[in-house]
Chain A
Amino acid sequence: MSAPAGSPHPAASSRIPPKLGGAAASGAAAPAGPGPGPHQQNGPAQNQMQVPSGYGLHPQSYIAPSGHYSQGPGKMTSLPLDSQCDDYYSGLYRVPTQNVVTPNTASQQPGAQQMYGSVPPAPHVVGSTLGSFQGAGSSASHLHTSASQPYSSFVNRYNSPAMYSANSSVAAQGFPSTCGHYALSTVSNAAYPSVSYPSLPAGDPYGQQMFTSQNAPTVRPVRDNSFSGPSTAISHPSPLPPPPSQQYHQQQSLSGYSTFAWSASGLPSTQDNLIQNHTSLATANNPTNPVADTLSCSVMQNVQPPKSSPVVSAVLSGASSTRTPPAAGRPVEPLASVARPSELLQQKGMQYGEYVNNQASSAPTPLSSTSDDEEEEEEDEEAGVDSSSTTSSASPMPNSYDALEGGSYPDMLSSSASSPAPDPAPEPDPAPAPAPAAPQPSKMAKPFGYGYPTLQPGYQNATAPLNSGVPPSSPMYSGFQQYAQQYPGMNQLSSSLGGLNLQSSSQPESLRPVNLTQERNILPMTPVWAPVPNLNLDLKKLNCSPDSFRCTLTNIPQTQALLNKAKLPLGLLLHPFRDLTQLPVITSNTIVRCRSCRTYINPFVSFIDQRRWKCNLCYRVNDVPEEFMYNPLTRSYGEPHKRPEVQNPTVEFIASSDYMLRPPQPAVYLFVLDVSHNAVEAGYLTILCQSLLENLDKLPGDSRTRIGFMTFDSTVHFYNLQEGLSQPQMLIVSDIDDVFLPTPDSLLVNLYESKELIKDLLNALPNMFTNTRETHSALGPALQAAFKLMSPTGGRVSVFQTQLPSLGAGLLQSREDPNQRSSTKVVQHLGPATDFYKKLALDCSGQQTAVDLFLLSSQYSDLASLACMSKYSAGCIYYYPSFHYTHNPSQAEKLQKDLKRYLTRKIGFEAVMRIRCTKGLSMHTFHGNFFVRSTDLLSLANINPDAGFAVQLSIEESLTDTSLVCFQTALLYTSSKGERRIRVHTLCLPVVSSLADVYAGADVQASICLLANMAVDRSISSSLSDARDALVNAVVDSLSAYGSTVSNLQHSGLIAPSSLKLFPLYILALLKQKAFRTGTSTRLDDRVYAMCQIKCQPLVHLMKMIHPNLYRVDRLTDEGAIHVNDRVVPQPPLQKLSAEKLTRDGAFLMDCGSVFYIWIGKSCDNNFIEDVLGYPNFASIPQKMTHLPELDTLSSERARSFITWLRDNRPLNPILHVVKDESPAKTEFFQHLIEDRTEAAFSYYEFLLHVQQQICK
């Protein structure tokens, strides 16, 4: 490599691409030799103009001389040539003289392997304990039975209300059982070699009720112990307190708990326990599969692959060769070469001291950062758990990611005592935060909590299997009812829940004709809920939650012709990776799937006899595998229909190694930050670095997590954070035309090994560029570099951009004409200006890398083009218009909160999502951020819990021979813990043959969201006015179709079925939405951002955006209040969005999803102003107020608890604005009053008249 070094560049005039590859191959690039003059010019990265020429001459000089930073960007340096080269490294940062100790991962591996190997093949798993903890958080009751109870009695308990007696000893008992798993596992294996049933099916339903909160504390210590149990077996180093474990063992013997062991997976805490558990998991889960071990090992190896060493050396040598010939001679050891120059010249390092913390003296100590003992995290998730002692293991899914993840691949680092353990603290925190969802547990508990109505096993009685036998045309409910009646349990159930039964009432109600023009208060007082599919009761209960899976028509028309007649859109709205409070996690060796269509077994399949089941999507008859015959819930054999997979519409499987051909990737995060003048001026770096510092430990991931940073202005800067350095090294690449990675393997570093360096960097970053005068932004090259950096592993790239990219590839011009902002005619430039970002996104998607964009800009930044980088790589987009950290504190606060959520929320890597539906239906168009890889497969480089998707469906074949259709979404992803998981949602809907039924089942919110998605597509591919027309036509067509076919009454008014009564209102709201409005001044970026949000927000959030909720808050009472987490949350009625509702003596809260407004009327009650806002009277309220003070008054408390409740569980943290009646900000508020007339748009009543007129045409 070094041979040519030192020789003058062969072809000075010709351009030699400074690619890594090129450099490596030729070695010619390296030779800069003591450079001639031009070389030097090249050096100063700041001088962009010179780059091209200098570059041609001396490729090696891309790396800017270190000096320039210290000297300030603006200045041209004229360093003597030769010294410049030498300076490069030393100048940049002082390199520690002591040799870098790289953690010898390789040596540890064998150890780790052995550990795995030695694990007893217990099928057991870790997660079970987890579940129980979660359970602890929730409500008190519980049915826990002691382990020793005979199972049968246990079963009974499920059905009888009596069982919910509090049992204080539950926790203790439950735990032991887990422990028992370990011991027993071997036994179980012997008995039934193939069955390992780690997850708890029933458990989650019950979990909520199982443990009292008091139990929680006691449980915790126990848990640790229980884990240690296995660890001892494995000879893990963790201390094992003897008493508890003994207890467990006793318990286990007591329980006489049968041969099977299972456990819930999903331990909320990451720490050692996890790791140990994982260890056991890995082996346990695949007792038969030796691959697991090897796999995990390979993973480790991959963690730090000896990256193309020749390349590295070449580059390095390229940089340093001239100065230190010896370094060039050592191809394989980049580190060494780096160090060398530093020795030579340390004086330069001093200059850099200002931005880099001077830590040169302190030896990097990788080990010190976190101790292994940190397991005591407080995890408060409420989640149920099963009584593991009694039956199966299911782990209700807690919100927190950790809990989700069993995390199967122990990292060698963590397993060795010396290495920093992943910080436990991070996970528990995020969990409660993102999805407190307090009301949910109670809601959820109900359906699950009672008994287990299941599909009848076909073999137990003669009743026909679900899909067959019911005459298609007849309402299937009756059929099912019958069915249910044969089971006494069912009867009981249905009678007890009779109030909920909509069978009789729903039909008339949702079909009741409503005369829209006469109905003045069309908006209900309470939030609109999703319609419940008209299924029989037990199916209804087994159906997927509308929050994750919704169809625009809950009654599927039989034929396309019928659908066409109804003129309603047919499609699905998905929120597949939603934070769930409970989720059964199933670990078994074989995941039961249909052999032909690969559908996962689900609650809606029918069992033909004990050994066979019929797929509900393709109707193929499949065999029930032996393993599936055992039901861990009842601990009995031969009841496959009671397995958790068949009992829950949403389950998560831990995929075996069959589902991965490469080892699961580690969590890799790369931050690409704009540091141009504009960015520094806006001041986002401070906020970002602060948030990162705070949340560094909470980043989802395991001990393999890697992180990297890049900054860019007119050049691209990399940061070498390799463990062992005393300070972060900044490497500057000024050749933006052909950007390359200076040291490919030390830019993305292990979070835990290099934590100190990372912290140093984050502390230093905000001040490093304070004096920059660089106004250009080379976003394109930076992204290309990021792509190169990420492509070996995949992961997440977070891009922060503050202006229009102005240099290099992907540069953009301003396309917005401010005069056209309020044009009613044509809105142009909604599509991308260049394909660069799209292509880049596709490349990224191919390498499993997602790009998330944070756009913080005060001017037009062409979001339409920039957004492509996220759209096609399954990223997400955040936009902060006119962001400034001091001038616009509310945006700054929003950024801060969003970042907190963004950094700590769950994340899934290298995901694919496949949506299947019953034969006869087909899906055609998808909406959301992803790449469509085949007609039903979405490729998602990353999946995050805030991403929503939509799919349009068509009916290809008539569905006359079936009475039910099912949809199944399977999301396969790699958790941040390095586990392959499959989350499966199944939705079942009835098929109807009459138009009236179709209307009766219309889900107006889902329809609106789907239409909004379609309209976005239309406005980009065609034009905005087309899209608007299409929206209006949608409502005109459907209402006229309804009027002409279903309601025979000839009213003069506009008639809609009750299910669609809000349709025109929502359409009007859409037309007035930022994305689609015309005539009102809308900045292009705002409009495009609104479109992006429509495409990728899940339904719940999207609806708030489209149609905000308005509440009157000056007279909150406890009437109808709900209790959440010991807080009383008042539930004021919804007001319609019209100024007529705003009375001057009131205060109103508007919830727009991403922003809250509190409008204070002029003559608002002073008591309210004083008690809630903390000001004596209206006049003294400041113009900009974004917080409610914490006052010790009842009304303040109510208002705050109401707002907090609204804020909970939002992906976009809403900022509160207090708007005074006369303040200029009130236009913001008033534009959301969509029922009112504006200068450019109809009022609601006018719109109705317009629609009516169109219908009559």
Chain B
Amino acid sequence: MNISIHPCSWPYSTSACSLQLTIIAFDELRTDFKNPIDQCNPVHARERLRNIERICFLLRKLVLPEYSIHSLFCIMFLCAQEWLTLGLNVPLLFYHFWRYFHCPADSSELAYDPPVVMNADTLSYCQKEAWCKLAFYLLSFFYYLYCMIYTLVSS
């Protein structure tokens, strides 16, 4: 028990952090100036577009680390024969695999495509996904903490 759970706290926090970042990024995406005059301004248009691209780029960079950290954990749980914890994580693992390999046909990009991301349904889906995962990571973080302390105390 000890082996697997002890180190998990820090990577988990990174994972959660990246999620947090994702959420902030989406929020930034969603926020646009309501000021119509600003909207019409071509300069603003350029900035806005750069922003969107920048955020998408950032998001894409975050995807792989997050997925790999999570799968690393799953492997560790597997090695430690923590079946329950593994069971909790497997659905998310599969989801990640699906997300990763089920990218739009022929596109070399993973997700978060600038032209598409601003579509309200895509955006809200991504946002919801991020919130859910954040909640999951936080809960599991405390669960691992609890397990760790429990094993420390009991042993």
Contacts and interface: CB of A to CB of B under 8 A. Distances in A.
10 contacts: A593-B36, A662-B41, A830-B106, A835-B107, A910-B45, A925-B121, A931-B115, A934-B48, A937-B39, A952-B121
Contacts of B124: 924
A986 B124 CA distance: 27
B49 A662 contact: no
Contacts of A924: 119-121, 124
A593 B34 CA distance: 13
Contacts of B37: 658-659, 661
A1030 to B, nearest CB: 16
B104 A831 contact: yes
Given A847-B46, A935-B120, 15 more contacts: A598-B34, A662-B42, A831-B105, A834-B108, A842-B114, A846-B45, A848-B42, A864-B106, A925-B120, A925-B122, A931-B115, A932-B116, A934-B30, A935-B119, A935-B123
Contacts, number: 111
A1115 interface: no
B151 to A, nearest CB: 46
B32 A934 contact: yes
Contacts of B52: 933
B44 interface: yes
Given A830-B106, A934-B32, A1020-B105, A846 B120 contact: no
Interface string B98-141: 00000011111100001110111111100000000000000000
Contacts of A1020: 104-105
Contact of A912 (B40, B53, B116, B123): B40
A935 B30 contact: yes
Interface in B31-81: 32, 34, 36-46, 48-50, 52-53
A82 B50 CA distance: 45
A263 to B, nearest CB: 25
A934 B40 contact: no
Nearest to B37: A658
Interface of B: 30, 32, 34, 36-46, 48-50, 52-53, 104-109, 114-116, 118-124
B120 A933 contact: no
Contacts of A1107: none
A835 B108 contact: yes
A873 B74 CA distance: 43
B105 A1023 contact: yes
A838 interface: yes
Given A932-B118, A937-B32, A845 B49 contact: yes
B150 to A, nearest CB: 45
B119 A910 contact: no
B118 A846 contact: no
Contacts of B30: 934-935
Contact of B50 (A593, A660, A846, A935): A846
Nearest to A1021: B104
Secondary structure of the A contact surface, majority rule: mixed
B45 A933 contact: yes
B107 A912 contact: no
Contacts of B108: 834-835
B42 A933 contact: no
A835 B106 CA distance: 10
B40 A838 contact: no
A829 interface: yes
Contact of B53 (A842, A934, A972): A842
A1100 interface: no
B43 A912 contact: no
B115 A872 contact: yes
Given A933-B32, A939-B49, A923 B120 contact: yes
B40 to A, nearest CB: 5
Given A794-B42, A912-B40, A933-B45, A842 B120 contact: no
Contact of B39 (A829, A912, A925): A912
Contacts of A838: 115
Contacts of B39: 912, 914, 937
A1021 B115 contact: no
A818 B47 CA distance: 44
A549 interface: no
Interface string A812-829: 000000000000000011
Contacts of A665: 42
A937 B119 CA distance: 10
A659 B40 contact: yes
A832 interface: yes
Interface in A835-858: 835, 838, 842, 845-848
A1157 interface: no
